Amino acid sequence: MVKICCIGAGYVGGPTMAVIALKCPDIQVTVVDISSQRINGWNSDHLPIYEPGLDEVVKKCRGKNLFFSIEVEKHVAEADIVFVSVNTPTKTHGLGAGKAADLTYWESAARMIADVSKSDKIVVEKSTVPVKTAEAIERILTHNRKGTNFTILSNPEFLAEGTAIKDLFNPDRVLIGGRETPAGQKAIKTLRDVYANWVPMEKIICTNLWSAELSKLAANAFLAQRISSVNAMSALCEATGADVSEVSHSIGTDSRIGPKFLNASVGFGGSCFQKDILNLVYICECNGLPEVANYWKQVIKVNDYQKSRFVNRVVSSMFNTVSTKKIAILGFAFKKDTGDTRETPAIDVCKGLLGDKARLSIYDPQVTEDQITKDLSMRKFDKDHPAHLQPPSPTSIKQVSVVWDAYEAVKDAHGVCIMTEWDEFKKLDYQKVYDSMQKPAFVFDGRNVVDVGVLRKIGFIVYSIGKPLDPWLKDMPAVA
Ligand code: NAI
């Protein structure tokens, strides 16, 4: 029986390996992690991450050909194929701080693989890494090996949180990069055969190592660029009276542009887009390409602009101060159908409002109070490190309360900010919301989920990103 071991039981390692186990009953899959809390979670009824459909997949295979363990070295030693799906956060100090990828966790995983291996292995980069990482990893493996051979492959993951299982069942493509040597080509074939159990051959793209590594960074940069492009348009729409939804629809019907990923919002979040673009920027700078670096940097600048523009709209609409006013924050996750809050725009918006001394009442159906407290007290980039290395969170933050019901959050609030497009926020009884709020009652929709016309009829003053402005807001400054 072929044995696969995956180092890193996170948002990528867990779901990806569960689906491989489901689709390949003849392969034994073990997911290992240094965090016993994470592994205990995977072995319990409350999985450590929320993804629609994930519970069913894990339940079907766990204990049969899918295992979760903290015995990292033992399972790596026994495996034929080792996936590495550990954190690759942005460096917070030293050379390249704030941009370059921190490969500490990858390097320590590679050293451990070399140290414990007694048989030849294929080592697969699943984490998103800078171009040419495979070369560095190869060096670590070959200089530390004990008579064994390692072949390295790049197999970046393209799943999106919230739809991970759907994406893994039916991927747009699977990308496998390897060396153009006989050993490299043989390893590509071995991994291709694993995916071929359920992915059509024409969707499995095989390239050289560097193309595979760069394609992942490029894909995330293009996706984020699309969001920043439509968000840049949203500011212009507000200034001119155009409606960003109508503009998106009109341009999306052009088959060269396409309709997906054209929703204006308060900004993109998630663990990957910002980190991967910063990484791309750094690689461009290191390769003497400052113009290319600046081009991609702008995608992040527009994202930051969009978040501060939103905060400014809130404060300026509410008589230029939110001091001591209760603001309800609906949604904290970076998008719906996930509990992940890494780089969620809600963090920057909440911090901006707290900076103006607002009182926040936060509700998200999937994010715990502990998580929100941590997020609002942590420094940028700290979130992307393994949980046990993160600073402990304070027990509470003055001015912030976390509640478990949207109606509780909005009670006596002066304003409501919608930060995540959870379906339940579309279906709220907005008359009931209005009745329970202070007047004038404001709604600031950062995801364009509410029906602006209906809410205005109820009596709300509504700001919805990129939509024609409420007469109330028209004369207010957009940016401080
Ligand atoms: P995560 O933080 O959820 O999981 C990483 C896990 O690796 C943690 O549980 C950590 O404890 C473990 N770990 C770190 N060092 C270890 C070591 N030496 N030995 C054993 N376990 C170790 O991260 P996530 O989101 O799964 O991301 C992993 C990689 O996949 C990153 O490079 C990310 O950029 C990439 N990626 C993430 C996607 C996402 O949607 N989250 C999508 C595609 C790629």
The per-residue pLDDT for range 364-382, each reduced to its tens digit, is 999 999 999 999 998 766 6
| Range with the poorest average pLDDT among 92-96, 207-211, 359-363 | 92-96
Residue 383 has pLDDT above 60, yes or no: yes
φ, ψ of residue 14 in degrees (nearest 5): -60, -65
With bands split at pLDDT 50, 70 and 90, how would you rate the model's confidence at 456? very high
Per-residue pLDDT at 400 = 96
Average pLDDT for the chain: 94
Which domain-ending residue is among 199, 226, 250? Answer: 199
Identity of residue 460: F
- What order do you get walking across the sheet with 150-154 strand by strand? 66-69, 27-32, 2-7, 81-84, 121-125, 150-154, 174-178, 204-208
Q: Is 208 helix (H, G, I), strand (E, B) or coil?
A: strand
Evaluate: CB of 167 within 6 angstroms of ligand 1: no
Say yes or no: 186 and 257 in one domain. Answer: no
For residue 471, report the distance from its CA to the centre of ligand 1, in Å: 47
Which of 5, 6, 12, 39 has most ligand 1 atoms within 8 Å of its beta carbon, as the pocket-test mutant? 12
Label the pairing between strands 174-178 and 121-125.
unpaired
- Residue 223 in any domain: the answer is no
Q: Are residues 159 and 277 in the same domain?
A: no
Domain boundary, last residue among 172, 199, 226:
199
Q: Please check whether residues 287 and 180 belong to one and the same domain.
A: no
Q: State whether the beta carbon of 152 lies less than 6 angstroms from ligand 1.
A: no
Residues 324-346 have a mean pLDDT of 96
Task: Give, for ligand 1, the residue of 85, 129, 280 to mutate: max count of ligand atoms closer than 8 Å to Cβ.
Answer: 85
Which ligand 1 atom sits nearest the alpha carbon of residue 108?
18
Nearest-CA residue for atom 43 of ligand 1: 157
| pLDDT score recorded for residue 472 | 86
Q: Is 17 in the pocket of ligand 1 (CB under 6 A)?
A: no
Q: Is 48 in the pocket of ligand 1 (CB under 6 A)?
A: no
Q: Tokens representing 426?
A: 């579309």
Give 466's pLDDT tier (boundaries 50, 70, 90).
very high
H helix and E strand count, the chain = 18, 14
Same domain, 152 and 262: no
53 domain residue, yes or no: yes
For the segment 10-62, what is each residue's pLDDT rounded down to a tens digit?
999 999 999 999 999 999 999 999 999 999 999 999 999 999 999 999 999 99
Instruction: Report yes or no on 222 lying in a domain.
Output: no
Tens digit of each residue's pLDDT (9 = 90 or more) over 337-353: 999 999 999 999 999 99
Task: Give the whole-number percent of the chain exceeding pLDDT 70.
Answer: 96
Domain containing residue 117: CATH number: 3.40.50.720
Give the Cα separation of 477 and 480 in Å (integer).
7
Asked whether residue 61 falls in the same domain as residue 160, the answer is yes
Domain boundary pick from 183, 199, 215: 199
Strands 81-84 and 121-125: parallel
195 & 246 share domain: no
- Name the E strands within 367-425: 400-402, 415-418
Q: How many domains does the chain have?
A: 2
Residue for token pair 């990893």: 137
Report if residue 351 sits inside a domain: yes
**Residues in Cβ contact with 319 at an 8 Å cutoff, skipping those fewer than 6 apart:** none
Residues 151 and 286 in one domain: no
Which residue do the tokens 């980039």 mark? 381
Find out whether 101 and 276 touch, Cβ atoms under 8 Å. Answer: no
Report pLDDT for 379: 72
- Res 390: pLDDT: 67
Which range marks the domain in which residue 445 is found? Answer: 242-473
Whether 261 is covered by a domain: the verdict is: yes
For residues 237 and 179, the answer to whether their CB atoms sit within 8 Å is: no
Spatial separation of the C-alpha atoms in residues 416 and 409, rounded to whole Å? 9
Beta carbons within 10 angstroms of residue 314's beta carbon: 23
480 pLDDT above the threshold of 50: no
> Do 246 and 121 have their domain in common?
no
Phi, psi of 400 (to 5 degrees): -120, 130
pTM as predicted: 0.93
Q: Which residue has the higher pLDDT, 204 or 478?
A: 204
For Cα atoms 119, 122, 123, give the angle at the middle one, nearest 5 degrees. 110
CA distance 36 to 410: 38
Question: With 50 as the cut, is the pLDDT of residue 199 above it?
Answer: yes
- pLDDT computed for residue 389 by the predictor: 65
Residue 63's pLDDT is 97
pLDDT (0 to 100) of residue 306: 98
pLDDT digits (tens, 9 = 90+) for 253-277: 999 999 999 999 999 999 999 999 9
State whether 295 and 149 are in the same domain.
no
CA distance 89 to 275: 7
pLDDT value at residue 397: 80
pLDDT tens for 400-422 read: 999 999 999 999 999 999 999 99
Q: What is the mean pLDDT of residues 458-480?
A: 84
**CA angle, 263 then 268 then 272, to 5°:** 130
- Please give the pLDDT value at position 134: 92
Task: Note whether 130 and 28 are within 8 A (CB).
Answer: no
Q: Specify the residue with its C-alpha closest to ligand 1, atom 30.
A: 127
Q: List pLDDT tens digits, range 150-189.
A: 999 999 999 999 999 999 999 999 999 999 999 999 999 9
Residue 236 in domain: no
Is 278 inside any structural domain?
Answer: yes
Q: Are residues 287 and 409 in the same domain?
A: yes
Residue 310 belongs to a domain? yes
Which residues belong to the active site?
272
With CA atoms as reference, report the closest residue to 76 among 118, 130, 132, 17.
Answer: 118
Q: Indicate whether residue 159 lines ligand 1 (CB < 6 A).
A: yes
Calculate the CA dihedral of residues 34, 393, 91, 30 and round it to 10 degrees.
20
Residues 192 and 250 in one domain: no
